[in-house]
Amino acid sequence: MVYPKVKHLIFQYYFLAALLFVVVVGAWFVRSSKSKDEITILLTALGGLASAVYFIQKQKLEELRLFKELFMSFNRRYDKINESLNRIASGESAKELTIHEIDILNDYFNLCSEEYLFYRRGYIYQEVWRAWHNGMRFFVEEDERIRRHWEQERTNDSYYGLEIASRIR
């Protein structure tokens, strides 16, 4: 999970890096003899910097749009099954899950795993993932039937490595 952290670090501090670059190049140019070649190097460096800043800003904007789309889609899907999940969680722990309840839980686990996949790829912000994960933990840790079904389902290795019952810091 190093890539998303590095990407977010770049997105957060690129302007400071650009400012530092301008200061270093400016200091070099002030100390230079200001020949035609050095002026060309200066203009090339500043043009490259402007291109890099533009690229990073454009990338941030595209990823923000993707995040918003994912966020809204995931929340819409969750809203459709939320009431059913709460009903399952409030059911009797001695009763077996019905086929319909299993289908709802499988839909929920698939939703959770998709959220996790996009989080691991760096498209879901950590604070959003933490909140979603806390909700997942609530259902799995608080309801014995859901926990048993999750434990059975995760043996299939079809949830992209998602672990629901562990805490995130």
Q: Give the domain extent around 65.
A: 2-154
Residue 70 has pLDDT above 50, yes or no: yes
pLDDT score for 92: 84
How would you class 107 by CB atoms within 10 Å of its CB: exposed for 0-12, middle for 13-18, buried for 19 or more? middle
DSSP state of 169: -
User: Does residue 135 sit within a domain?
Assistant: yes
CA–CA gap between residue 39 and residue 167 (Å, rounded): 55
- Quickly state the pLDDT bin for 46 (edges 50, 70, 90): very high
Any idea which residue has 């879901």 for tokens? 124
pLDDT in tens, 72-87: 999 999 999 999 999 9
Calpha distance 100→107 (Å, rounded):
11
What pLDDT does residue 50 have?
97
Is position 166 within any domain?
no
| CA–CA separation, 29 and 26 (whole Å) | 5
Query: Which of these ranges, 20-24, 41-45, 92-96, 163-167, has the smallest mean pLDDT?
Result: 163-167
The Cα–Cα gap between 125 and 133 comes to 12
Confidence check: pLDDT of 158 > 60: yes
Answer whether residue 163 is part of any domain.
Answer: no
Q: Say how many Å lie between the first and final Cα of the chain, rounded.
A: 15
Mean pLDDT lowest for which of 17-21, 114-118, 131-135, 165-169?
165-169
HSE, CB side, 13 Å, CA atoms: give it for residue 79: 6
pLDDT tops 70 at residue 43? yes
Inside any domain, residue 35: yes
| Number of domains forming the structure of the chain | 1
Q: What pLDDT was estimated at residue 3?
A: 79
Quote the mean pLDDT of the chain.
92
For residue 58, pLDDT beyond 70 = yes
pLDDT at 169: 43
Examine residue 169 and state whether it is found in any structural domain, yes or no.
no
Burial of 20 (0-12, 13-18, 19+ CB in 10 A): exposed
Which position has the token pair 């059913």?
Answer: 84
With beta carbons less than 8 A apart as the criterion, state whether 105 and 146 touch: yes
pTM: 0.82
Residue 46 lies in a domain: yes
Distance CA 105, CA 100 (A): 9
Residue 36 lies in a domain: yes
Residue 45 lies in a domain: yes
Tell me: pLDDT of 89 over 90.
yes
Chain segment 137-155, per-residue pLDDT in tens:
999 998 999 999 999 998 8
